[in-house]
Amino acid sequence: MSHFSLAAAAVDVVRLRAGLQDPASGGFCAFEGWVRNSNEGRDVDGLEYEAYAELALIEGERIVSEAMARYGVNAAHCMHRTGHLKIGELAVWVGVSSAHRDEAFRACRYIIDEIKHRLPVWKKEHYVDGDTAWVACAHTQRQHEHEHRHPHDHAPHVHVPKPLFVPDYSRQTRLRAVGDSGQARLAAARVLVIGAGGLGCPVLSYLAGAGVGTLGIVDGDRLDASNLHRQTMYDARDIGEPKVELAARRITSLNPSVVVQTHAEPLHAGNIAEVFAAYHMVVECSDDMRSRYLCNDAAVITGTPLILASIHQYEGQLQVVGAKPGEPCLRCLWPQEPAPGDTGTCEESGVLGPVPGVLGAMQATEALKLLLDLPAPTDHALLLVDLLDQTMQRLPIDPARGCALHGGCIAVATAALKQARDDRTMDIAFDDLDAAITAGYALVDVREPEEIATRPLSVASHALPSTQIESRADELPHGRVLLVCASGRRSRHAARLLRDRGMHDIHSLAGGIAALSAATARAPN
């Protein structure tokens, strides 16, 4: 069965539903749209749907396929009626079957929202007073998602059927250095954006608006209320939703011609080079130092240009890593990833909302400059932006003084990525600490004493703060050891230090105690 159908007469819903039966499915979700007896305060006694059938079939198929890919559901179908319908008749039907209910609900919602927004279908309302009016269905701007009412939606009046959205890039193609050829380069470009937070929001918005053909998004987080002061793509109703999905949807509504690819899990040493190879450029917008170093190494190895930025309170740093021979990388400045705690986070240090906006807009500018081959300085620099002092300081980087002293960027990056792969055998995830003990691990809590006092572990453990782990390594229990901290960062760093001393059976609890609580709190499906 195809994923989308138009029907000129009433359709048997039982048959549609039966078409989605799948032995791998444990959940089914359906939405039915019915003809209502009033619209915008006028009594309606029926309506008539007219579709641009060729386009509607293609677009409908595309929408349902997108939902299936995005949410990983087993089967889905959407049926839209055409012709005359009476009050109470079924106008549109969406059904989704999937392994679990969550994806089914989400995919169903996605399909009906996109159908309302994108399908070239018009409806003629027949009013009780004998009047009629054509209403374009595709102008509703996904009202049910955001409840914003478009000012033109009020009085029903005649709408000329609208063609599908055609982007207008005239304001940038007018730039002599851009032109139609530059626009074509953007359309052919594939850019990966890592992190859809404070930096990622402006980067994604500007690149989507500019017409970058394919945008990849990596983000494993769900939207938190504390993100909203700086992450401008989201709104309060989105809290708790995965950011990759929200960002993908926002980009699609901003510029439907952009193809979006989402990665809901952070990249790791085992897959990052392969993922980078599928893109022309990477923009690093995460708040994670480890991700920045990992991206640097993968960019250098795969020759993928990388645009780095990071922020702290009222200031930021920007570096473009060209990933060409002789051009400096992140490790040319700071050779080793700093110890956790040596770098602040937004959570610990605070950040003024527009600061990542400024740095993210600069990253987007650098990305477009590279893609369009616009004029840029020939040397390479670290740019320091201080928004309190209103100063920018550009510090040229001498590549001869960086990785070149240690065998060159590629050799340094290759060694670092190899170690990062080894680190992956160090990180171990458990649903609860009892499971770790059953698996034969002795637990060592590496948090500071005051943290332990506030939130002690539920099982027996040794206490040895990460700051003293090297000097007191002889106090560690024998055998397999699992180091535990709040987030998994300090424990990983400590495990790395100990492994470097030849203690190979030292492991780190992936995600720390925070990941445990999430797993324990997760409701059964």
Partner 1 sequence: MITVTLQYYAQLREQAGTGRESCDTSAGSLRELYEELRLRHGFTLPVDALKVAVNAQFSDWSRELADHDTIVFIPPVAGG
Which residue type occupies 291?
S
Pick 198 or 511: Cβ nearer partner 1:
198
Concatenating the DSSP letter of every residue in 358-416 gives HHHHHHHHHHHHHHHT----SS-EEEEEETTTTEEEEEE--GGGTGGGGT-HHHHHHHH
Give me the least distance between CB of 248 and partner 1, in Å please: 19
The set of residues, in sequence order, having a beta carbon less than 8 Å from that of 521 and lying 6+ positions away, is: none
Pick 40 or 389: Cβ nearer partner 1:
389
Q: Parallel, antiparallel, or unpaired: how do β-strands 391-396 and 381-386 relate?
A: antiparallel
**Beta partners for 46?**
126
Give me the least distance between CB of 382 and partner 1, in Å please: 7
Q: Which of these segments, 15-23, 64-72, 232-240, 314-322, binds partner 1 (CB under 8 A)?
A: 314-322
448 binds partner 1 (CB under 8 A): no
Alpha helices in 237-311 (DSSP H): 243-254, 272-277, 289-302
Give me the least distance between CB of 396 and partner 1, in Å please: 7
287 binds partner 1 (CB under 8 A): yes
Site string for partner 1, 360-389 (x = CB under 8 A): ----------------------x-x-x-xx
d(CA 249, CA 259): 11
d(CA 125, CA 235): 33
Site string for partner 1, 319-338 (x = CB under 8 A): --------------xx-x-x
216 binds partner 1 (CB under 8 A): no
d(CA 375, CA 343): 33
CA distances from 423 to 268, 290, 420, 504 (A): 10, 12, 5, 11
Give me the least distance between CB of 299 and partner 1, in Å please: 17
Q: Which of these segments, 9-17, 68-76, 191-199, 249-257, binds partner 1 (CB under 8 A)?
A: 191-199
Q: Copy the structure tokens of residue 462.
A: 């040794």
Considering only residues 197, 202, 211, 242, which one is a binding residue for partner 1 as defined by CB under 8 A?
197
Give me the least distance between CB of 317 and partner 1, in Å please: 6
Number of residues that bind partner 1 (CB under 8 A): 45
Asked if 463 contacts 455 with a C-beta cutoff of 8 angstroms, the reply is no
Site string for partner 1, 386-425 (x = CB under 8 A): x-xx---xxxxxx--x------------------------
d(CA 216, CA 218): 7
Asked if 477 contacts 504 with a C-beta cutoff of 8 angstroms, the reply is no
Considering only residues 103, 245, 315, 423, which one is a binding residue for partner 1 as defined by CB under 8 A?
315
Q: Summarize as ranges the residues that interact with partner 1 (CB under 8 A).
A: 195, 197-200, 285-289, 292, 309-313, 315-317, 333-334, 336, 338-339, 341-346, 349, 351, 356, 382, 384, 386, 388-389, 393-398, 401
